[in-house]
Structures are given as structure tokens and as C-alpha cells.
Amino acid sequence: MRRLATEALLVLALLFPSARSLAATTTAAAVVTTQDELRLGAAWYPEQWPESRWDADLALMQRAGLRVVRVGEFAWSRMEPSEGHYDLDWLARAIAAAGRHHLQVVIGTPTDAPPAWLTARYPETLGTNADGSLRQHGNRRQFNYANPRYRAFCRDIVTQLAQRFGHDPNVIGWQIGNEYTDESYDAATRAQFQHFLQQRYTTLDALNQRWSTAYWSQHYDSWAEIPLNAESGNPGLMLEHRRFVTATWQEFQHVQVAVLRRLTAPQQFVTTNVGGLAWSENWDHYAMQQELDLASWDDYVGSGHLDATRNAFLNDFVRGWKRQNFWVMETQPGSVNWAPISNALDRGETRELAWQTVAHGADAVLYWQWRSALNGQEQYHGAIVGPDGEPLPLYDEVRQTGQEFERLSSTVAGTTLHAEVALLVDYDSRWAIDFQRHNSTYDQLQVLLRWYQALRRGGRNVDVVNATAPLDQYKLVIAPNLNVLPASLAEHLLQYVRGGGSLVLGPRSGMKDWDNALQTTLQPGPLAAALGAHVAQYYALSASVPIAGQSVEGSAETWAERLATDSPDAHVLLRYGHANGWLDGQPAAVQRTLARGSLAYVDTVLDATLTEWLTDYFLQQARVPPGPWPHLPPTVEAASRTGRGKTLHFLLNHGREPVTLALPWPATDLLDTRGRAPNQTNFITLQPHGVAVLEVTP
């Protein structure tokens, strides 16, 4: 009865008085144990194995240098075998066993995989697919994230866990669920969406006016008429649905965070692991991180091999969610089972992947999973130990990484990345462009990666942050895809420019307002007057177009816009060559000085050569110093972490051939012991997939 009585309160919580007020309702823990050591770990599922086997597995982990295990996130049916009857004694024994082997524990709340008794007895807790079909038991994520009854069950199981382990000295943190993913399209969730809209717009007249519902007779006379589906529709409705999904996941998460804050020790952190290679767009990652202590994500390669630039960007993207170091809660141990070709990474590549994440701000890396499951959907997934309990060939590589992490733990502790340049990401803009790409090849991630790669040359650190984040620390900020630009965000950016910052906008910027409606002031909308130029028309390109600037030539791809200058001091940096007649000779990039800073607009997707040239121009204009490694071979990546009076330079050879580098200053490779004390050197040889960590002390 207690559970049923609280469902009414949960319904009220679902009505979202403000999707952005959650951070104020729950204060993050004051003490978080994330930067006192460097950790390697794995996901361990003691419920899948005889208890007599536990110590053998934990001993192998300890020998491999693992220092943390994640447990419990798929074990709800073992924790609550029938409604209201809990069994956590086995988990207590597993946690104690881990402690005996000097392994710290992160408990995953099991709310991503409800037990069969729950979904059978309460079918309303199952999610509804976009086609109207009800999800069925036998997989995971079959639950309805918006259902108040399901949230009551989640609250109760988390309460039991927190009461039992909230002050256990072996438990250092909590992971809520596992890879939030699927929304629901049931009638009750649709009603919640309609109420969400009512609170945001107050009146139907306001909604109809702002969504331009006179188009195609979309006018609504009742909130109940507003649809909820996954099909293309009114751009205003589609954008609000994405915001609703974010708010609903925030509320789902908040139910558990509130319990954990109340019942656990402040040094136990709270996080959730983000899947979808971090770039998933189901919801706003920045908003979801507000009341969590620690960002974490699941870093998988899938088919093929490590895409070093993309993976570096994704790690920097995750670091930007909370603008602090993060954890990799899952990473592939050599191979996966779900990719089109689930090949194994090369020897040394798994270690290389782990060190790359550390180079970009990770303080822990956990493998998924420790041991191959005997059955289940992921029985072919890579592991460190086979179904027979014996180490797989990858074990020795993991062990080497674990020993290195342990040796460098105190050195890396307290360091992080510092950057003078940033890329901006905005979820409203991401959603708006992807709803209406206008060119199927317009890939926002690839646009970002092209700028990112140009900025990263020479080992320069780059932050990837929310468009609303404080920007004062940056000399140069590039916003390649800022499609939705309300007046408040425009003013935030103008304050940065007036204060001396250099801002570069990309194509499609300022086209839309908060409601995903076209601005009546042509692009870049509220920034057009400050730019001294505007976009007269846009064009999806079916072929590349020549483009040139002072002493440089290249091409424009995918998208182009016709810029018209409105002010004599709007300096043209690039012009189109012979194209479709409309673009011929027209500006492709302009820049204008504004107070102590500058504002630039690049109205197309430039090829790599032009992107590098223009990036160098902007860096020089903004007085950004060159990166510390000006002559890196193309296969070598460099990044740096600083703190506690030292700088650590990470060098990674992503190629399959050895590379010898001349160092710009004598340094010590902390990974190169070879049975002797590390010495300073002026040259270093990186083997294929090799890694070096160089310490430079002022």
C-alpha cells in the first residue's frame, strides 16, 4: 500500500514545474572520491556465478591491477525475487569479498532491467514503441521511463540498496540504471507531454501562434489534441518533444538521486553511464548531468579499429558535460558482439584506448565485462576471462595497463586538461538540424570533428562545452552548428565577444528561435547586426564548390550560404568561385571587430585544407599560442594534463609502425622503466599502439 500511495505524488512530480530546476532541488555531494587515484576496473556479475568461484575471479582481478568493480545493475530479480521481498545478503558477501581483494565497488541500481514478475503483474510499466506495440520482457530497457508505478518500484529497490550499503566502506559510488535510451509513446506519457506543453506555453493561443499551426490546419483547440509520435511533424512540436524526453529522464533519475543523497555517505559519488558512444541525441547530456557528481560514459570501438580523432573528441565532449574529469564506466575488452563485424582490436590497441581516455581526462577505465556469460544476448561479447574461468589472451595486456595505472596513480592524481580554445555544442540546435537536414550528408559530428582536428594540431587541448557555459577562459570559441539562437543565448555570446573573445559561427547559425521557428531577422538572427552581415539565401550542395582566400584555395562541401555585408568593416576572408550563379564571387566567410573581441561567420562546410588555414588565421588573431608539439607525425597524438605543479604530456602512436620523436625539451617517460629508474631523454620511440607519459616539472 505504501508503494501505491506514493504513486499519486510521483504523478505530480512528472508534471515538470521546471525541467531546468532539478539542480536546485538536490545538492551534489560535497566530497567525491574521483581524483585521488587512477583506477582500472571491470563490470562483475557475481549473481551469474557460484559463490565458490568469487574469490578466484577477484584474485585474478587483483593480480591484473584492477582496483574497482561495478556490480548489481542487472540483478534486480536476484535482489527482489518477488514483490516486496528483498535479498541483499548475497550482494553484501560479494562486496565484502571484493574488499578483501582490495577492490572498491560501484553499485549499479538495477532499474534498467526489471524482473519478470514486475512487468507481468503491472504491464503499464512496459514501454510502448512508436508503432504502438507494447515492449515485452526478455530484453532490457523494456520499461516505461515515465510511468509513476515503475518509478515507485525503482525508488523502493534503491532505498533498500542505499540503506544497506550507503555507508559501506568498500562502496565508493553509485551508477543509476544503465545507458538511458528509449522513450515511450503510450497514452499516459502523451498526456504528460501535453501537460508539459501547457505549463510551458500557458495558453493554446500562444502555442498555436508560436508553432504557426495555421500551416496545414494544425491548429489545436484542446491540449488533448496534441499528438505524440516519432514521425516528422511540426518543428516546434518535435523540438519540445526532445525537451520533454530530457525532462522525463531527469525526473526518472531524480527519484533515485534523492534517495541516494538522503541515505548514503557524502563521499559516495552518484553518476550514470552514458551509452550510444556519448553522441546519442535522445536527450540533452548537459542537462542530465546537473545533479550528478561525476560524468561517465561507455567507450566502444565496434567494428574496425580506434578512430583516434573521433574518440579523442568524444572524451573531450564528455569532460565538458560537467567541465571536470570523468570516468569511462564501460569499454570494450578487445571486441564486442553487436557490431556488423565484431573484430578484435590489435595487440596493444586496448591498452592504447585506455591511455587515450586518461590523456583526455578520465580518472578510471572499467571494462565490460570481466567474464563471458554462459548464456544471454551478449554471450559473444569480449571479456577478460573466458567461460571456463581462465584468463583470455587479452588478460596480460589488461594486466600491463593495470600495473601502469597503479604505478602512475599518484602522479596523475589532481591533474586535468586546461584549454584556451573551445567548441560549442547546443542540443536544441542539434535536434533542429537533424530534424531537417536539407542535405542527407550534413553530419554535425563530422563538421565538429573537422574543426576539432584543426584545433588539436600540435597537441593543443580543446574543450567541448555547452553553448551556455561560461566562456571567459577561452581566447577562441567556435560554434559550428548553432542553428537555434534565442536572444538570451545571443546576448551571452556577445558578452564574451565584447569582453575580448573571438567567436566563430558556422553555417545555419541563427536560423531558428526558441520555438524552432524561422527568425524574421535573417541569419545569424540576433547576431546579424553585430556581425555587420547577413545570409541572403542558403543552398544544399550536390557537388563541391571552389572557394579561395588570400594565398589559399579549396572547396566548399554539403552546404553553402550567400552572405551579404551590411557594414564596411565586415572583412571578407573567403569568396566562392564559379558555382551555381547565385554563389559566384560571394563572401563565404566574414569577420568583424566588436569592442575588444571579434565575431566571424563561416557560411559553408570547408574542406580539410581550408579548415586548417582558416583555423590558423583565427588562432593567430586571437593570440592563441601554438601547441607544444608542432611537428608530430600524422599517426601520433599528444595531449597534456596539468596540476599540482606539474605537466604530464601523453603521446600515443595510433599507427602500426614504430615512430621516433625528438622531444622539444628533456623529459622523463614514466612508463619506460625497463628494470631501471626512469631517466630524462631527448628522443623517444613509440612502438605500434605505443604510449608514453612524459613528466615536465617547472
Distance CA 88, CA 159 (A): 12
Cell digits of residue 658: 614504430
- Predicted TM-score of the model (pTM): 0.94
In a domain, 222, yes or no: no
Q: Which residue has the cell 508503432?
A: 131
Q: What is the pLDDT of residue 683?
A: 87
Domain containing 506 — which CATH number? 3.40.50.880
Catalytic-role residue among 179, 251, 404, 637: 179
Q: 37 and 178: one domain?
A: yes
Element housing 212 (H / E): none
Q: 355 and 503: one domain?
A: no
Q: 363 and 427: one domain?
A: no
Q: What is the pLDDT of residue 19?
A: 39
Q: 485 and 610: one domain?
A: yes
Q: Which residue has the cell 597503479?
A: 406
Q: 444 and 581: one domain?
A: yes
Q: 578 and 494: one domain?
A: yes
Q: 401 and 486: one domain?
A: no
Percent of the chain topping pLDDT 70: 94
Q: What are phi and psi of 270, to 5 degrees?
A: -125, 130
In a domain, 199, yes or no: no
Domain containing 673 — which CATH number? 2.60.40.1180
**Last residue within a domain, chosen from 621, 654, 674:** 621
**Is pLDDT at 148 greater than 60 in this prediction?**
yes
Cell digits of residue 242: 526532445
Nearest CA to 671 out of 654, 691, 652, 653 is that of 691
Q: Is 318 helix (H, G, I), strand (E, B) or coil?
A: helix
Nearest CA to 555 out of 538, 534, 523, 579 is that of 579
CA 507 vs CA 532, 576, 585, 602: distances in Å: 16, 14, 18, 6
pLDDT confidence band for 280 (50 / 70 / 90): confident
CB 44 within 8 A of CB 107: no
Domain containing 99 — which CATH number? 3.20.20.80
In a domain, 119, yes or no: yes
Q: Is 223 exposed, middle or buried (0-12, 13-18, 19+ CB in 10 A)?
A: middle
**Is pLDDT at 22 greater than 90 in this prediction?**
no
Kindly state the average pLDDT of the residues 38-58.
97
Q: Which residue has the cell 531524480?
A: 254
**Last residue within a domain, chosen from 579, 597, 621:** 621
Catalytic-role residue among 251, 330, 397, 557: 330
* Average predicted confidence (pLDDT) for the chain: 93
Strand-pairing partners, residue 629, are none
Strand-pairing partners, residue 667, are 681
Please enumerate in sequence order all residues whose Cβ is within 8 A of that of 388, keeping only pairs 6 or more positions apart, or say none: none
Q: 282 and 380: one domain?
A: yes
Distance CA 502, CA 105 (A): 45
Q: Is 231 exposed, middle or buried (0-12, 13-18, 19+ CB in 10 A)?
A: exposed
- Using one digit for the tens of pLDDT, what is the confidence trace for 208-236? 999 999 999 999 999 999 999 888 899 99
pLDDT confidence band for 667 (50 / 70 / 90): confident
Check whether the bond before 524 is cis (ω within 30° of 0).
yes
Q: What is the pLDDT of residue 36?
A: 67
- What's the count of helices (H) and strands (E) in the chain, helices before strands? 19, 26
Count of other CB atoms within 10 angstroms of residue 18: 11
**Is pLDDT at 33 greater than 80 in this prediction?**
no
Q: What is the pLDDT of residue 5?
A: 45
Q: 443 and 525: one domain?
A: yes
pLDDT confidence band for 613 (50 / 70 / 90): very high
**Is pLDDT at 284 greater than 50 in this prediction?**
yes
In a domain, 397, yes or no: yes
- Using one digit for the tens of pLDDT, what is the confidence trace for 393-419? 999 999 999 999 999 999 999 999 999
Q: What is the pLDDT of residue 141?
A: 86
Q: Is 28 helix (H, G, I), strand (E, B) or coil?
A: coil
In a domain, 205, yes or no: no
How big is the chain, counted in residues? 698
251 carries an active-site annotation? no
- Which structural domain, as residue segments, surrounds residue 296? 2-184+248-410
Distance CA 97, CA 30 (A): 29
179 carries an active-site annotation? yes
Q: What is the pLDDT of residue 674?
A: 63
**Is pLDDT at 15 greater than 50 in this prediction?**
no
In a domain, 209, yes or no: no
Q: What is the pLDDT of residue 23?
A: 37
Which of 31-35, 80-84, 273-277, 410-414 has the least mean pLDDT? 31-35
Element housing 106 (H / E): strand 104-108
Distance CA 633, CA 612 (A): 16
Higher pLDDT, 138 or 27: 138
In a domain, 415, yes or no: no
Q: 403 and 425: one domain?
A: no
Q: What is the pLDDT of residue 18?
A: 41
Q: N- to C-terminal Cα distance for the chain?
A: 65
CA 437 vs CA 418, 433, 442, 481, 485: distances in Å: 34, 5, 6, 12, 17
Check whether the bond before 369 is cis (ω within 30° of 0).
yes
Distance CA 421, CA 323 (A): 14
Q: What is the DSSP letter of 126?
A: B
Higher pLDDT, 19 or 615: 615
pLDDT confidence band for 130 (50 / 70 / 90): very high
Q: What is the pLDDT of residue 675?
A: 47
- Using one digit for the tens of pLDDT, what is the confidence trace for 363-394? 999 999 999 998 988 888 999 999 999 999 99
Q: 517 and 654: one domain?
A: no
Q: What is the DSSP letter of 305?
A: S
In a domain, 203, yes or no: no
Q: What is the DSSP letter of 549?
A: E
Which of 88-92, 342-346, 372-376 has the least mean pLDDT? 372-376
Domain count, the chain: 3
Q: What is the pLDDT of residue 698?
A: 62
Q: 485 and 404: one domain?
A: no
**Is pLDDT at 344 greater than 50 in this prediction?**
yes
Distance CA 430, CA 467 (A): 12
Q: What is the pLDDT of residue 21?
A: 40
pLDDT confidence band for 697 (50 / 70 / 90): low
Q: What is the pLDDT of residue 374?
A: 87
**Last residue within a domain, chosen from 593, 621, 649:** 621
